[in-house]
Structure 1
Amino acid sequence: MQVAVIGGGAAGFFSAISAKKHHPDAKVTIYEKSKKLLSKVRISGGGRCNVTHHCFDVRELVKFYPRGERPLKKAFGQFSPTDTVQWFQSRGVELKTEDDGRIFPVTDDSETIINCLMQETRKLGIGIKTGVNVQALRPVDSGIELDLRKGGRIVADKVVVATGGSPRASGLDWLRELGHEIKEPVPSLFTFNMPNESIKDMMGVAAEPVAAKIMGSNLKSTGPLLITHWGMSGPAILKLSAFGARELHEKDYNFQALINWTGDRPEQEIRQIFKDVVAESGLKKIRNVNPFGLPGRLWEFLIGKLELGDNMIWQNMGKKNINRLVHLITNDTYQVEGKTTFKEEFVTCGGISLRDVDMKTMESRKTPGLYFAGEVLDIDGVTGGFNFQAAWTTGYIAGKLE
């Protein structure tokens, strides 16, 4: 049996390895259009490779996927984060879990993961061909024919498409031609640009936890927030961008973000905390009493927005100014005008509609013998190792070739 895997990324490699494991007599070949293999693995997690996440309860795990939550539940039953950890550890890769649940190799070097995958393909005798761009697929009597952009054709009995996300729907036209529905790709996991907001002067300051919301929508998230020289980033913002990918695209990335710097604490609780501060530290300057443990620069920036003067003390605030401070801390508003995506770590919302895929096998419902794995599917997760986990899982299942 000839098996062609299109795409030399995480999902492609795992599909090929799974195919060879489940079908030892098959000839399995990976075809990658560029000269680079496993490029996202190399740069992920700042070059450390966030292999997966320490969320071993599938019911909780699927909640981290804005697209694909329900279909992934059964898929994770076949290959879960527990299986991912065991797979790499059984091949000599030691892993560690960080405080936020992200799992990395103890070497803090993505080359450790790349070397493991490359070594496994060599051991199994899997072929790898780079610079091979497949531009069309065609079902034929003997299997599926791959048309190459530079000319030439390859016929395989089974084909796994693991080409990753495409920034434009036109990049998936070759799969649409087989009858597949394509969900319009739009960016996911992006940061918020705030060109006209002075909070950018606080670049490098991080606050945790905060609650972030999009005005005029039901979108909200919590977690750490990082102020950058272009606006805001960090898990709270990235999570918001992932779950709001389509809605924010429709707004042309022009909207207002509301930040509760205290996390999910309600206004009533905040007001009581300020009353306690007035009672206990009434003669102290506002700037010198920071009841929520916010970074000092950020606290001074926030109270500066109220223009109360540097010498204002707590007992002179009065009810009106306390109310203004409560509202500011819980509903701080910023105008977002654009986004920034990290091109190397580009994640898309969209791809092959899951209605066209049997999620038990990852086989196409339109073309027998054709399978999908990874980001080419309309599946994406938030930051934290979830997208790699989807790649390992869908790759493993696709490679069964059932």
Structure 2
Amino acid sequence: MNKFDILIVGGGAAGFFTAINIAEKRPSLKIAILERGKDVLTKVKISGGGRCNVTHAEFIPKELSKKYPRGQKELLGPFHTFMTGDTIAWFEERGVELKIEEDGRMFPITDSSSTIVDCFLKEAHKHNIEVLSNHSVQDVGFDSAFAKARISNEDPFYVKTSKGDFICNHLVMTTGSNPKMWSLLQKLGHSITDAVPSLFTFNIKDEKIDGLMGLATNVTVKVLGTKQKSEGPLLITHWGMSGPAILKLSAWGARELADLKYQFEIQVNWLQFLTQEDALDELLELKLQHAKQSPFTYAQLELPKRLWHNLLIASGIQQATKWAELTKTQLQSLSRELTQSRFRVSGKSTFKEEFVTAGGVNLKEVNFKTFESKKVPNLYLAGEVLNIDAITGGFNFQNAWTGGYLIAQAIES
């Protein structure tokens, strides 16, 4: 039987950050990370397109917490203890400098996720943390028979893996969206919110966006028949729509869109905040100014030319028509396409390789001052094993860093 003071199940971002912080605060403790795969930190390696979006340049706890569709209320307190500025300092103290991009995302100045992976591996080695790959956890309990109940809160955990059994005083679960681990946590008394995809793009086939792949513009978009609404850059892809505006919708509407089986209609305002009446007034002014020109000659209202052309066609306007010849019906149709353009969504696609889910351990069952389970003493949970998820931009990693730090702080005390 392999005995450790701390066992951390899950060799990802939250697992390594937790282990390193515990080891720094309590160097005498014997710590191991159990990873089911042959490699550790795989999600870190691919995140941010291989650059690793470490965190986001939001330095006000309340504003940062608003980026979490699930976990907003629970993370507000923890963010007052450890958040963006602390993350930046933590990495800089270990030789990793971060930079802020225009949209607020933060990456290592090397633009390589290997910088973060190497930092974690170096720190783990430095602090004698055992990293055990190919150790798939099969069961967890409190005695050699793996009972699911304790006689005393001081009873150690027994952990059965594919490569042997372990015993520990403190158990940390950082296993992400792993149904098998959620099932084990259910056996220990936790309730689990079923997982549904959170960050995803919309599959759309529509002539209005044909040939526009790669085009990006600022919009307001809403899901018809719901209260879900978002604004920001929208990116047209070969399969439909992506970009921050769509990804925010997918995160905040994760459960509602799952209930709709990803078959729904969206409305896009290509002018972002202008109403149809505002747009019609602008078009009437353009009709006066450019009476002898074709509307196809120059894009208007600061729209990309290819998009402007497609919207003209969708409004029934022919290329030979001049501004002065546009009828009231055509102008109304164009103003509607500009501000209330409708698209049918038929399915979803994973956003890059960053598969994020909404679901996990019920947040009411966790003490967010310590990230310790309220059901099982000395059991701690961090990262996406909890029913916490965020919009894209480095926020899911910040949740992992904050949880890991508070767990280390709790075990130190």
1:192 aligns to what SS in structure 2? strand
State the partner residue of 1:181: 191
Segments of structure 1 that go 5 or more residues without pairing to the other structure are none
Of residues 80, 91, 107, the one that matches 2:94 is: 91
1:206 and 1:224 in contact (8 A); partners too: no
1:36 and 1:130 in contact (8 A); partners too: yes
Aligned residue runs from structure 1 range 2-401, under 5 A: 2-140=5-143, 142-148=155-161, 150=162, 152-166=164-178, 169=179, 172-194=182-204, 196-199=205-208, 201-342=210-351, 344-401=353-410
What is the rounded CA distance, in whole Å, between the counterparts of 1:233 and 1:302 in structure 2?
A: 19
Give the CA RMSD over aligned residues: 1.5
1:380 aligns to what SS in structure 2? coil
Q: Aligned in 2, Cα 1:151/1:119: closer, same or farther, shift over 3 Å?
A: closer
State the partner residue of 2:150: none
TM-score with structure 2 setting the length: 0.93
What is the rounded CA distance, in whole Å, between the counterparts of 1:283 and 1:220 in structure 2?
A: 39
1:122 maps to amino acid: H
What is the rounded CA distance, in whole Å, between the counterparts of 1:200 and 1:34 in structure 2?
A: 41
1:214 maps to amino acid: V
Query: How far does residue 114 in structure 1 lie from its aligned partner after superposition?
Result: 0.8
State the 4+ residue runs in structure 1 displaced beyond 6 angstroms: none
Query: How far does residue 199 in structure 1 lie from its aligned partner after superposition?
Result: 4.3
TM-score with structure 1 setting the length: 0.95
Aligned length: 398
2:254 maps to amino acid: A
- Which deviates the most, 103-112 or 291-300? 291-300
- Which deviates the most, 18-27 or 153-162? 18-27
What is the rounded CA distance, in whole Å, between the counterparts of 1:344 and 1:37 in structure 2?
A: 16
What is the rounded CA distance, in whole Å, between the counterparts of 2:237 and 2:208 in structure 1?
A: 9
Query: How far does residue 170 in structure 1 lie from its aligned partner after superposition?
Result: 5.5
1:205 and 1:295 in contact (8 A); partners too: no
Query: How far does residue 292 in structure 1 lie from its aligned partner after superposition?
Result: 2.4
2:172 maps to amino acid: V
Query: How far does residue 79 in structure 1 lie from its aligned partner after superposition?
Result: 0.8
What is the rounded CA distance, in whole Å, between the counterparts of 1:281 and 1:59 in structure 2?
A: 49
1:88 maps to amino acid: F
2:208 and 2:314 in contact (8 A); partners too: no
- Which deviates the most, 211-220 or 288-297? 288-297
What is the rounded CA distance, in whole Å, between the counterparts of 1:299 and 1:217 in structure 2?
A: 28
What is the rounded CA distance, in whole Å, between the counterparts of 1:289 and 1:171 in structure 2?
A: 58
Query: How far does residue 272 in structure 1 lie from its aligned partner after superposition?
Result: 2.3
Query: How far does residue 270 in structure 1 lie from its aligned partner after superposition?
Result: 1.9
Per-residue deviation, residues 109-156 of structure 1 (Å, max 9, x unmatched): 1101111111111111111000001122213454111121x2632110
Q: Aligned in 2, Cα 1:238/1:123: closer, same or farther, shift over 3 Å?
A: same
Q: Percent identity between the aligned chains? A: 43
What is the rounded CA distance, in whole Å, between the counterparts of 2:215 and 2:129 in structure 1?
A: 45
Per-residue deviation, residues 332-372 of structure 1 (Å, max 9, x unmatched): 11111111114742101000011110011000011100000
Query: How far does residue 288 in structure 1 lie from its aligned partner after superposition?
Result: 2.1
2:142 aligns to what SS in structure 1? strand
